[in-house]
Amino acid sequence: MTISVGDSLPGGSVLEMTADGPAPVDLAGKFKGRKVVLFGLPGAYTGVCTTAHVPSFIRTMDRFKDKGVDEVICVSVNDPFVMGAWARDTGADAAGITMLGDAEGGFIKALGLDFTAPPAGLINRSKRFALYAEDGVVKVLEVETSPGECTISAGESLLEKI
């Protein structure tokens, strides 16, 4: 079942690259009592993810903060090493975006936002989406119909809805 507006975000653990190496992140703790933007995408270093999706949130970071958002988080079914390198290469880390690796895809599956596209080599990945949650409850959710599109899940689009 796909998560919907009004649902509580599932908990779980993902990984973040730190100066000391990969570290577990308790998602329930990230969401509790906070305003959070969470966006997911098919994969680090892939075309639209790198050229459109992440840059849209880099461009809008200050405006999300102006709306009281505590944290902007990107999650992908990648390992934390890749997510850490991609954060540096895109400038997401400098912009303050938290880049999390859902290496096994468990969190994405719990959201009901997983997909597989063998011709593109994308197996058990995340659909492209963006959501806004308050205290772990989804207030706005935008899911692209195609992984190659980044319109309704872009930073600017989500920003207009909160």
Q: Residue 20 has which token pair?
A: 């000391």
Q: Residue 21 has which token pair?
A: 């190496």
Tell me how far apart the alpha carbons of residues 19 and 38 are, in angstroms, rounded to a whole number: 23
Tell me how far apart the alpha carbons of residues 60 and 64 are, in angstroms, rounded to a whole number: 6
Tell me how far apart the alpha carbons of residues 143 and 153 are, in angstroms, rounded to a whole number: 6
Active site residues: 49
Tell me how far apart the alpha carbons of residues 111 and 148 are, in angstroms, rounded to a whole number: 20
What is the identity of the amino acid at 153? Answer: S
DSSP type of residue 57: H
Q: Residue 11 has which token pair?
A: 């908990």
